[in-house]
Structure 1
Amino acid sequence: MSRRTRFFWGIFLCCLIIQFYFIYWNSRKSFREFPNDENYFNETLAKLLVPRWAGSPGHIQVSDFLVKSLKKRGFHTVLDHFYDGIPFTNIVAIMNMEANNFLMLSCHYDSKFLNGSTNYLVFFDGHESFEDVNDDFNSLNGSRHFTEVELILMQSIEVVIAFNLIGAPNHIYMSHYERTYKLHTRMADIEQELRESGKLSNCHQLFHKLKDHESDIEDDHYPFLLKGVPALHIIPHTFPDVWHTESDTIQNLHFPTIRNMNLIVTRFVYKYLNDHVSDKDIESRFD
Structure 2
Amino acid sequence: MIRFRLIFAVLLCSISGIAHAAAPDTHFDGAKALEYTRQFVAIGPRWVGSPGHVKAEAFLRKQFQHDQLEVDTFTTNTPAGPMEMHNYIVKFPGKKDGVIVLATHYETNYPLRTINFVGANDGGSTTGLLIEMANHFRGRTLDGYSVWLVFLDGEEAVKSWSTSDSLYGSKHLAAKWQSDGTLKRVKAFLLADMIGDKDLDIYRDRNSTPWLLDLVQQAAAHFGYQSYFFAQENQIEDDHLPFVQRGVPSADIIDLDYGYDNAYHHTVDDTMDKLSAKSLTIAGDVFLETIRLVNQR
Same fold (TM over 0.5): yes
Structure 1 counterpart SS, 2:102: strand
Partner of 2:84: 87
Partner of 2:275: 253
Distance 1:98 1:154 in 2: 18
Deviation (angstroms), 1:184: 2.2
1:244 aligns with 2:271: no
Structure 2 counterpart SS, 1:218: coil
1:227 aligns with 2:221: no
Deviation (angstroms), 1:135: 6.2
Distance 2:95 2:53 in 1: 31
Give a deviation string over 1:65-93, Cα, whole Å, max 9, x none. Answer: 21221233x3x111011111211001111
Conserved? CA contact 2:200–2:255, under 8 Å:
yes
Deviation (angstroms), 1:262: 1.8
Partner of 1:191: 220
Deviation (angstroms), 1:207: 1.7
Conserved? CA contact 2:195–2:202, under 8 Å:
no
Distance 2:84 2:245 in 1: 24
Alpha carbons of structure 1 residues 244 and 34: separation in structure 2 relative to 1, 3 Å: closer
Partner of 1:105: 102
Taking the TM superposition and a 5 Å limit, the aligned residue runs for 1:161-240 are 161-177=190-206, 180-195=209-224, 205-208=227-230, 212=233, 215-236=234-255, 238=257, 240=262
Deviation (angstroms), 1:231: 1.1
Alpha carbons of structure 1 residues 252 and 175: separation in structure 2 relative to 1, 3 Å: closer
Distance 2:217 2:27 in 1: 20
Deviation (angstroms), 1:142: 0.5
State the aligned residue count. 232
Q: % of aligned pairs identical? A: 23
Conserved? CA contact 1:177–1:232, under 8 Å:
no
Partner of 1:119: 147
Conserved? CA contact 1:167–1:254, under 8 Å:
yes
Question: Match for 2:166 among 128, 131, 139?
Answer: 139
Distance 2:60 2:38 in 1: 12
Structure 1 counterpart SS, 2:268: coil
Larger Rg: 1 or 2?
A: 2
Segments of structure 2 that go 5 or more residues without pairing to the other structure are 1-22, 77-81, 116-145
Q: Which has the higher helix share?
A: 2
Conserved? CA contact 2:97–2:185, under 8 Å:
yes
Segments of structure 1 that go 5 or more residues without pairing to the other structure are 1-29, 276-284
Deviation (angstroms), 1:129: 6.0
TM-score normalised by L of structure 2 = 0.68
- Which residue identity lines up with residue 91 of structure 1 in the other structure? Y
Distance 2:24 2:93 in 1: 20
